[in-house]
Structure 1
């Protein structure tokens, strides 16, 4: 009996042990507390695509004009922080790549950056109204994080230069059993779906163009084999427990029979 319990404890300990090297992010032996090392990055300038949703805010015009054009109601600005409200009240980019602005008409924004779209909207509105300032934001920047994280789900991002680490932060970080060396990123492009594997234990991952997120990215964290082994301990333990109980019962019955 004691040997069986010892075996179970040994199996549990082995299956639960994850080396620290597999848990530490962005490892690089050249890092030092004495100076900062600069790592070149490949930041992505996202270009607006059909089905994106833009928030447009106009300042400086009359109240009537701002109420017509603005996707955010100045009388109730708190709603501007709600992704669902922004999605419903924003300007959807149609299949041709255009948004339809009240009074000023259609404007093509496909393949423009958000900054370029803001300049284009500013120019078009400026042809109708003077002394106005336009702000354009992308409000459909949504990502999905799945797998061995604390809080899997979908998240809205309001930072145009969000990274994989931001995504994991929103999801409550990876669990101890998340495989930091094999992060799967799924990205939709005009040519099809791209799938890439990234190793977050290496600092060089910062150089990857996939380190920075774009709308509709899916981040999947697979579990380490240690987690799978640990999950198998429960049924094995139950089986051994049953066998042990059966042996003890039969032994007890045997002792009674001998006594007779």
Structure 2
């Protein structure tokens, strides 16, 4: 009987050790964001402002002191009435898709090349064209498709539409509910499309120097992928057997406890 108990105890302890091994947490070094070091933070958003690309969708609204003179330039503005909610009015504002050659076609102004420009540079270019027709025109231009996707070991993976282009990788992770404890923070993958070509970059979020990275600020259509750590990969290998192992270990411990009373 004693040999049986010893065998059962050994199996139970072995199972418990396996469970503890595969469920262990990472060290502080692997978990904490932007750990303190001697790095000098020099990043400015202006250094990495996203550029307009083909297939971007831009909302463009023309303004002036006399709203009547802007009617030909805002083809949908006549649909908005004074008692509309701001949300509804935003939905009615005209949008323009940047074609494969980098142009948008604006009413009265015709084709204007905007690809490769920042949003502020494109605004100024359109404003100069408008001065031929309107005195002191104003231009309101925004991205209508500034989307980033966050996948992998995060609480809520998905795609997110951003209200502004001033978005950091930490902002995106925050929208996705942050990384899980199983995500590798020192090797986050960033997939970015530039001139129709996909580029893959790696970002170490445990280092403060990441704040100086050209990939700290995001561009439209960026994809962030957080890889699982070794413990999570090992857990996935166990698959459905995990619950069986836990059940057997629990049963053995219970039996041994009863028999040794």
TM-score range, shorter chain: 0.7 to 0.9
User: What is the TM-score normalised by the length of structure 2?
Assistant: 0.78
C-alpha displacement at 1:3, in angstroms?
3.3
**Counterpart position of 1:120:** 125
Aligned residues: 236
Once residues 58 and 151 of structure 1 are traced to their aligned partners in structure 2, the CA distance between those partners, rounded to angstroms, is 38
**Counterpart position of 2:223:** 218
Note if 1:79 corresponds to 2:84.
no
SS where residue 10 of structure 2 aligns?
Answer: helix
- 5 Å-filtered alignment, 1:243-254, equals none
Once residues 89 and 150 of structure 2 are traced to their aligned partners in structure 1, the CA distance between those partners, rounded to angstroms, is 24
SS where residue 167 of structure 2 aligns?
Answer: coil
Once residues 243 and 204 of structure 1 are traced to their aligned partners in structure 2, the CA distance between those partners, rounded to angstroms, is 48
Aligned-residue RMSD, C-alpha: 2.9
Note if 1:154 corresponds to 2:159.
yes
Once residues 247 and 166 of structure 2 are traced to their aligned partners in structure 1, the CA distance between those partners, rounded to angstroms, is 55
Instruction: Structure 2 unaligned segments of length 5 or more: list them.
Output: 1-7, 253-261
Contact 1:104–1:128 (8 Å) recurs in 2: no
- 5 Å-filtered alignment, 1:107-256, equals 107-190=112-195, 192-233=197-238, 235-237=240-242, 240=245
Once residues 11 and 211 of structure 1 are traced to their aligned partners in structure 2, the CA distance between those partners, rounded to angstroms, is 38
Contact 2:154–2:180 (8 Å) recurs in 1: yes
Distance change (3 Å), C-alpha of 1:120 and 1:197 = same
Contact 2:151–2:158 (8 Å) recurs in 1: yes
C-alpha displacement at 1:61, in angstroms?
5.3
User: What is the TM-score normalised by the length of structure 1?
Assistant: 0.78
Once residues 87 and 244 of structure 2 are traced to their aligned partners in structure 1, the CA distance between those partners, rounded to angstroms, is 57
Instruction: Structure 1 unaligned segments of length 5 or more: list them.
Output: 31-36, 248-260
Once residues 81 and 189 of structure 2 are traced to their aligned partners in structure 1, the CA distance between those partners, rounded to angstroms, is 41
- 5 Å-filtered alignment, 1:42-61, equals 43-60=47-64
Once residues 16 and 116 of structure 2 are traced to their aligned partners in structure 1, the CA distance between those partners, rounded to angstroms, is 59
Contact 2:61–2:94 (8 Å) recurs in 1: no
Distance change (3 Å), C-alpha of 1:66 and 1:80 = same
Distance change (3 Å), C-alpha of 1:145 and 1:80 = farther
Contact 2:104–2:111 (8 Å) recurs in 1: yes
Distance change (3 Å), C-alpha of 1:103 and 1:234 = closer
Distance change (3 Å), C-alpha of 1:238 and 1:98 = closer
Once residues 162 and 194 of structure 2 are traced to their aligned partners in structure 1, the CA distance between those partners, rounded to angstroms, is 19
**Counterpart position of 1:20:** 28
